[in-house]
Structure 1
Amino acid sequence: MKVAAALRLKNDYALQLTALKQRIMSNLVVEEGSEPFESPKKLIILYHQVSQNYQDLVTRINLHNSSTKVEYPSYHDNFKSGHLMGDLFSNELSPDFTYTEKYIVQALVERESLKEEIRTFKAILDGSKVTRYSTRDILKVPVVDVQQLQKKIDTMAKFLRVLDSRIQEHNWLQDLKEI
């Protein structure tokens, strides 16, 4: 099974667990003399089976991600070496970029970190907008270089797109390892 298929199955298991929990909760109490629509005992057994499948699959995915490497241009590595130029809105990277081979789990952490940094810098950008409703209002000016901050956001977004593409490519091409 490919990693991408395993990730879809993991999501399916999570949705099944949520639905089963709801079905169990809906059948716990009935009017005296009535029977529940579904047997909570059977649903609990099914929930346990799906939960075990979910646990086994997540374990396999995590072991795979911590033992398999992917090559990608790390934003932080390239930031340190100053290789952040080029067209910010394409996924084409400069030949000067440093490519790093890291474990998938490291790439996933970097992807989440980049997403959070982008959200933070966008909030800073939004917070630095000049608001003046009339000429009588006191003029408030940003204390950060808005253009430079926007360029940083665009650069980080480019690296995020490339990193995400590399992770997705890996997930569609690699087989999930057996335990």
Structure 2
Amino acid sequence: MKLAEALALRADASRRVEQLRARVIGNARHQEGETPSEDPVALLAEADGVLDSLETLIRRINRTNSTVAVAPEGTLTDALARRDVLRLRHALLTGAADAAAGRGGARQLRSELKMLTELPVAELRARADVLAREIRELDMRIQRTNWEADLLED
């Protein structure tokens, strides 16, 4: 199985657990004299099985991520960490640029004090654009690796 397939299975299992959780909660209590529409004990047992499978899958994914190489970042784990930090850095720069440009602020009337910026908006946006390109390129390398790498056994 390819790593990308395992990632899709992980997402499906996570959604399944959330659906089962909602169904358990919805059927955990009922009025006296009535029966719940579904057996919450059976739903919990089903959720336990899905969670056990999910744990095994996550272990295999993590093991694979820590051994598969993605040039020039190092391992897939290194590349994922790099991508996470690039996304945070991009959000910081775009947020700072938006705030400095006055986006999301109150309207300024002539009688109000003039607002000045301490940040170079154009420079921040240019840096954010460079980061966005780096994120896209790294994400493509990660996705390619996900489809090329075989998932390691447990």
Query: CA-to-partner distance for each residue in 1:20-79, whole Å, 9 max, x for gaps?
Result: 1111112222222333222222111111100000100011001110111111xxxxxxxx
Query: Match of 1:128, as an amino acid?
Result: A
Instruction: Verify the 8 A CA contact 2:4 2:146 in the aligned structure 1.
Output: yes
Task: Say whether residues 1:152 and 2:124 are aligned partners.
Answer: no
Q: How does 1:81-92 map to 2 (within 5 A)?
A: none
* Equivalence for 1:114: 86
Q: How does 1:1-179 map to 2 (within 5 A)?
A: 1-71=1-71, 100-129=72-101, 133=108, 137-179=112-154
Note the C-alpha offset of 1:173: 1.5
Answer 1 or 2: which has greater helix percent. 2
Q: 3-state SS of the aligned residue for 1:6?
A: helix
Instruction: Verify the 8 A CA contact 1:3 1:171 in the aligned structure 2.
Output: yes
Pair 1:135–1:12, CA change in 2 (3 A):
same
Pairwise CA RMSD of aligned residues?
1.9
What TM-score results when the alignment is normalised by the length of structure 2? 0.89
Identity of aligned residues (%): 30
Pair 1:101–1:138, CA change in 2 (3 A):
closer
Query: Match of 1:120, as an amino acid?
Result: L
Pair 1:135–1:70, CA change in 2 (3 A):
same
Instruction: Verify the 8 A CA contact 1:132 1:138 in the aligned structure 2.
Output: no
Note the C-alpha offset of 1:11: 0.6
Give the gaps of 5 or more residues in structure 1.
Answer: 72-99
Note the C-alpha offset of 1:175: 1.2
Pair 1:43–1:136, CA change in 2 (3 A):
closer
CA distance in 1 between counterparts of 2:48 and 2:107 reads 60
Give the gaps of 5 or more residues in structure 2.
Answer: none
Query: Match of 1:158, as an amino acid?
Result: R
